[in-house]
C-alpha cells in the first residue's frame, strides 16, 4: 500500500495524479467512481486540467446510490451530473436506479454490466467515518456482492446535511467483492474528522468492523490523504510511504 500525504490545497492534483498513474497502461479503463465531498477536488482538477483525453477513455460506473428518489437533488445521480458530467468528453456513468421495482434485481443488473465490461480496472473510493466503503457498512465481509443495504446511523447522519428530513435509510451498493476485485484502488480522505478512521483502516486489524481495512490486503492500493486525515497515522504524515 502506498500512502501519499499532501497539504489540503494540493489534494485534488495529488488525487488526479494517482488516478492517472493507476490507469496509465490501460487503453479504456473501467473505473468505479465515488461520490461525497472528498472526491470533489479530484473532479474539479480533472475539469481544470488536460484531463479530457483521459476522461474520454474511461468507462465509468457508480459504486453506490442512496435509496431515495432517483431524481432527488441529493442523489448520487445528481452528483455525477454536476461533478462528472460537467467534464468535457465524459461518458455517462452506469448507475443504480433506486426507483427500480426490485432493488435486488437492479443491483444484479449493474453487477452483471460491470462483469460484462471486465470488472473494475480502478476503483476510486472515499471512506465513511465508520469505515464504510461505498455503502458496505461495518459488518460487511469481503465476499459481499452488489446489494441493497440498510444505512447505519453514522451514514444517515452524514447524509442529513443534504437530504434533511428526506434522508434515506437504505442504499444500493457494489459489494466488497466487486470493489476489492478492482485491479487498482485509490482511496481518498481529507480533513481531521477522518483521521481516526483512516488510522484504523490502514494500521488496525483487518475485519468487517471496518470494511476499508480490507484494502490492506489489496495488491495495488494508493491512499491519498491531506495532512488532516493523516494526522493520526503512527507512521506519520507529510511524507510518502510505501509498504
128 binds ligand GLP (CB under 6 A): yes
- Given 3, 158, 186, 201, the residue binding ligand GLP (CB under 6 A): 158
Alpha helices in the chain (DSSP H): 11-23, 40-48, 52-57, 76-83, 103-116, 153-163, 176-180, 195-203
Alpha-carbon distance of 71 to 104, in angstroms, equals 20
Kindly give the pairing relationship between strand 221-226 and strand 2-6: parallel
34 binds ligand GLP (CB under 6 A): yes
Nearest residue (CB) to ligand GLP, 3 versus 174: 174
Alpha-carbon distance of 230 to 227, in angstroms, equals 5
How many of the other CB atoms lie within 10 Å of CB of 104?
A: 12
Give min distance, CB of 134 to ligand GLP, in A: 5
Q: Which of 65, 106, 130, 178 is catalytic?
A: 130
* Residue 98: all three cell numbers together: 433506486
Span 41-80, contacts to ligand GLP by CB under 6 A: 64
Give min distance, CB of 236 to ligand GLP, in A: 23
37 binds ligand GLP (CB under 6 A): yes
Nearest residue (CB) to ligand GLP, 56 versus 161: 161
Q: How far is CA 226 from the centre of its chain?
A: 16
- Given 12, 126, 142, 211, the residue binding ligand GLP (CB under 6 A): 126
Q: Is 130 tagged catalytic?
A: yes
Catalogue the active-site residues.
64, 130, 132, 137
Amino acid at each position: 500500500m502506498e500512502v501519499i500525504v499532501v497539504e489540503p490545497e494540493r489534494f485534488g492534483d495529488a488525487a488526479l495524479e494517482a488516478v492517472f498513474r493507476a490507469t496509465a497502461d490501460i487503453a479504456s479503463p473501467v473505473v468505479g467512481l465515488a461520490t461525497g465531498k472528498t472526491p470533489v477536488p479530484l473532479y474539479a482538477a480533472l475539469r481544470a486540467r488536460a484531463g479530457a483525453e483521459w476522461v474520454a477513455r474511461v468507462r465509468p460506473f457508480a459504486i453506490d446510490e442512496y435509496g431515495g428518489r432517483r431524481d432527488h437533488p441529493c442523489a448520487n445521480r445528481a452528483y455525477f451530473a454536476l461533478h462528472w458530467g460537467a467534464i468535457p468528453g465524459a461518458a455517462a456513468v452506469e448507475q443504480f436506479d433506486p426507483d427500480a421495482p426490485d432493488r435486488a434485481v437492479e443491483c444484479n443488473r449493474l453487477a452483471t454490466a460491470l462483469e460484462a465490461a471486465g470488472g473494475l480496472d480502478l476503483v476510486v473510493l472515499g471512506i465513511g467515518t465508520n469505515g464504510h466503503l461505498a455503502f458496505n457498512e461495518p459488518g460487511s465481509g469481503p465476499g459481499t456482492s452488489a446489494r441493497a443495504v440498510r444505512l447505519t446511523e453514522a451514514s444517515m447522519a452524514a447524509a442529513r446535511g443534504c437530504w434533511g428530513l428526506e434522508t434515506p435509510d437504505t442504499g444500493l451498493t457494489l459489494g466488497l467483492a466487486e470493489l476489492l476485485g478492482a485491479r487498482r484502488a485509490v482511496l481518498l480522505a481529507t480533513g481531521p474528522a477522518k483521521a481516526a478512521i483512516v488510522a484504523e483502516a490502514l494500521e488496525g486489524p483487518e475485519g468487517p468492523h471496518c470494511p476499508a481495512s480490507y484494502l490492506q490486503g489489496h495488491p495495488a492500493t494508493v491512499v491519498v490523504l491531506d495532512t488532516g486525515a493523516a494526522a493520526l497515522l503512527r507512521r506519520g504524515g507529510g511524507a510518502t510511504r510505501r509498504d
